[in-house]
């Protein structure tokens, strides 16, 4: 495939920049981590674990994490967490204990608990911060108004619901499904707008880039797909992984896309060409990844292994 000279130059520079990349490991939990996420200004990283806790780290000197606090409010595993889109101190968590909890990192414990219909597995915040969507194991998505923390609506589905997310404008709501499709609903009325046949296998994860120009999906067919937000057309696929793609993340300037799975590496791809920029070696499968909002620093966590000294650890891959 032929690429423009501009894209090739960017690719070469990125490949050069990762040659001296390093990995640092930080103790976080007593059991495997299901979710890591940077806050909006990149000064904090949060992780949620099967040990029922939420750990908050401060990011120091562009290279290391220092544990700031550990929240122990949940009674079951913390499956996913999400920072407020503009407020750097606010965080929400989804747990199997049938609650959503709101945290302010300046407080000693959760500041709000919302009881939910089922065991929660995914959560996201609307771009304006006025609504939280939470999905549970029974494939029901509930919407919470953050001005009064009351449910505004809910939607029950007859198929497997996986990742959920608003687009950057907040007028569309995206769902990846067990049917291999991307279901797009209008918001707030939740009417079906599009249903894209995206993958041959279960469509597991979905991520928008920082500009809102692209989104990516990962599937049980081991493919990562890159999509144009405006046209909803698939621009290219990335096929270096051999196992189902569990988690995705775009870097701060949307030049890099990280994909991870049960493969013992994380694939770092150049968005414009699809070529591999880096291959991050892992000892086990990877549950969760997230790029820093300002730097080429990737936070990630791998599978639990009782014989591994890194159980419950967060890793930082940095090519600064």
Q: Is the pLDDT of residue 77 over 70?
A: yes
SS3 of 306, please? coil
Report the pLDDT value the prediction gives residue 272, as an integer from 0 to 100: 93
Lowest mean pLDDT among 1-15, 29-43, 50-64, 238-252: 1-15
Measured CA to CA, the distance from residue 8 to residue 118 in angstroms comes to 49
pLDDT of residue 307: 53
Percent of the chain beyond pLDDT 90? 88
**What are 142's strand-pairing partners?**
134, 154
172-197: pLDDT as tens digits = 999 999 999 999 999 999 999 999 99
Q: Does a cis peptide bond (omega within 30 degrees of 0) precede residue 297?
A: no
Neighbour tally for 43: CB within 10 Å: 17
User: What are 11-23's pLDDT values in tens digits?
Assistant: 888 888 888 899 9
Q: What is the 3-state secondary structure (H, E, C) of 178-207?
A: CCCEEEEEECCCCCEEEEEECCCCCEEEEE
Helices (H), the chain: 5-17
d(CA 234, CA 301): 29
Beta-bridged to residue 153, according to DSSP, are 143
Res 309: pLDDT:
53
Homologous superfamily of 5-318? YVTN repeat-like/Quinoprotein amine dehydrogenase (2.130.10.10)
Per-residue pLDDT, 7: 76
Over residues 81-92, the pLDDT tens digits come to 999 999 999 999
- Positive/negative CA dihedral, 238, 240, 245, 250: negative
DSSP 8-state symbol, 146: T
pLDDT greater than 80 at residue 127: yes
Range 287-313 average pLDDT: 84
Q: Where are the domains of the chain?
A: 5-318
Task: Please give the model's pTM, rounded to 2 decimal places.
Answer: 0.95
Distance of CA 229 to the CA centre of its chain: 18
Question: Cβ of 239: how many Cβ atoms within 10 Å?
Answer: 13
pLDDT digits (tens, 9 = 90+) for 212-249: 899 999 999 999 999 999 999 999 999 999 999 999 99
Average pLDDT, the chain: 94
Instruction: Say if residue 287 is exposed, middle or buried (CB neighbours under 10 Å; 0-12, 13-18, 19+).
Output: buried
The per-residue pLDDT for 305 is 63
């Amino acid at each position: 495939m032929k690429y423009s000279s501009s894209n090739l130059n960017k690719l070469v520079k990125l490949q050069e920049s990762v040659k001296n990349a390093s990995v640092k490991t930080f103790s976080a939990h007593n059991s495997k981590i299901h979710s890591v996420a940077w806050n909006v200004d990149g000064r904090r990283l949060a992780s949620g674990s099967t040990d029922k806790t939420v750990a908050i780290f401060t990011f120091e000197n562009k290279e290391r994490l220092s544990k700031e606090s550990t929240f122990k409010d949940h009674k079951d595993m913390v499956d996913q967490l999400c920072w407020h889109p503009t407020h750097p101190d606010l965080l929400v968590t989804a747990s199997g204990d049938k609650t959503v909890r709101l945290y302010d990192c300046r407080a000693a414990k959760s500041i709000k608990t919302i009881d939910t219909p089922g065991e929660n597995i995914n959560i996201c915040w609307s771009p304006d911060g006025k609504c939280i969507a939470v999905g549970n194991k029974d494939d029901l998505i509930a919407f919470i108004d953050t001005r009064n923390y009351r449910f505004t609506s809910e939607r029950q589905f007859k198929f497997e619901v996986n990742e959920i997310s608003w687009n950057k404008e907040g007028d569309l709501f995206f769902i990846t499904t067990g049917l291999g499709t991307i279901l797009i609903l209008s918001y707030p009325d939740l009417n079906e707008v599009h249903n894209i046949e995206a993958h041959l296998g279960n469509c597991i994860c979905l991520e928008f880039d920082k500009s809102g120009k692209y989104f990516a999906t990962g599937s049980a067919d081991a493919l990562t797909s890159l999509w144009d937000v405006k046209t909803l057309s698939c621009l290219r696929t990335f096929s270096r992984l051999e196992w189902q793609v569990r988690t995705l993340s775009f870097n701060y300037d949307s030049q890099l896309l990280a994909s991870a799975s049960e493969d013992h590496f994380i694939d770092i791809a150049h968005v414009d060409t699809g070529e591999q920029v880096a291959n991050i070696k892992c000892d086990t499968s990877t549950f969760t990844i997230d790029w820093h909002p300002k730097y080429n620093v990737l936070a990630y966590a791998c599978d639990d292994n009782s014989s591994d000294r890194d159980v419950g650890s967060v890793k930082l891959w940095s090519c600064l």
